[in-house]
Amino acid sequence: MDRASCMFVCGAIFAIMLNCASAQTVHVVGDGIGWDIPPNTYVSYINWASGRIFMVGDILVFNFMTNQHDVLQVPQASYTACSQDNAIGGVITTGPANITLDSAGDHHYICTVGRHCLAGQRLAITVSSAGGPTAAMVPPGGTAQPNFAPASLATSFLLILVSAGIALTF
Ligand SMILES: *[C@@H]1O[C@H](CO)[C@@H](O)[C@H](O)[C@H]1NC(C)=O
Ligand SMILES: [Cu+2]
């Protein structure tokens, strides 16, 4: 393989690796508000979440000061009632806290400090399974996962480039 072909192939492989690495998204909960009692009750976090796609492997960053707030994952009923019943895992008391989304489905988080949850400091998100063919399938009555197809197309295109690069060397 000559030097030009080598650079071409290595460059393409590097691009694919970058493509894979960028598949994991970091979501800063509430963006500038952070994890706090929001200005518009829990609607603030519903609005924040509604513009996003959450995939398994993504990271939630809860920005809060230790001792002022905390994070607890709870089932939906406890989210609605602002209770700690049947909590999933323990309370995270040290902020900022990163939580990796490790399963698909609905995830609910509350702050257990004072009456913060009742004042709107609670988050509900739906996590989709990452990558794989299932993410590209259209669920009944739903739409295709919008961020899977472009990544897949880009990867396919790069694979074709790599194949062409390898073929050129023979
Ligand atoms: C949390 O995630 C952010 C964004 O990826 C990163 O900058 C930070 O170092 C992480 N913090 C911890 C404690 O892992
Ligand atoms: Cu709080």
If the chain, 170 residues long, is cut into consecutive pieces of 10 residues, what is the mean pLDDT of each piece? 52 46 84 95 94 96 98 98 98 98 97 98 94 45 41 42 47
pLDDT at 64: 98
Note the pLDDT of residue 40. Answer: 87
Q: Is residue 17 part of a domain?
A: no
Closest ligand to 61 CA? 1
98 CB near ligand 1 (under 6 Å): yes
Q: Is residue 9 part of a domain?
A: no
Task: Check pocket membership of 26 for ligand 1, CB cut-off 6 A.
Answer: yes
The dihedrals phi and psi of 122, each to the nearest 5 degrees, come to -150, 150
Instruction: Determine, yes or no, domain membership for 108.
Output: yes
Ligand nearest to the CA of 99: 1
Distance CA 135, CA 112 (A): 34
- Is 161 within the bounds of a domain? no
Q: Which segments within 71-166 are labelled E, that is strand?
A: 71-74, 88-92, 97-100, 105-110, 122-128
Q: Is residue 88 part of a domain?
A: yes
- The secondary structure of residue 103, as a DSSP letter, is S
Task: Please report whether residue 162 resides in a domain.
Answer: no
Distance 98 CA to ligand 1 centre (A): 6
The number of folded domains in the chain is 1
What angle (nearest 5°) sits at the alpha carbon of residue 125, between those of residues 71 and 120?
55
56: in domain: yes
Q: Does some domain include residue 3?
A: no
Domain membership of residue 132 as a residue range? 23-141
Q: What is the DSSP string of 114-141?
A: TTTTTTT-EEEEEEEPPSTGGGGSPPTT
Residue among 24, 62, 71, 98 to mutate when testing ligand 1 (max atoms within 8 A of CB): 98
HSE (CB half, 13 Å, CA atoms) of 105? 6
Q: Residue 28 Cα, ligand 1 centroid: separation in angstroms?
A: 10
Strands 122-128 and 54-55: parallel
Q: What is the pLDDT of residue 5?
A: 57
Predicted local distance difference test score (pLDDT) of residue 42: 85
149 alpha-carbon distance from chain centroid: 17
How many angstroms separate the CA atoms of 84 and 75, rounded?
Answer: 9
Q: Which ligand is nearest to the CA of 37?
A: 2
Q: Would the CB of 21 count as within 6 Å of ligand 1?
A: no
- Is 23 near ligand 1, meaning CB less than 6 Å away? no
CATH number of the domain that residue 34 is part of: 2.60.40.420
With tokens 């690796």, the residue in question is 17
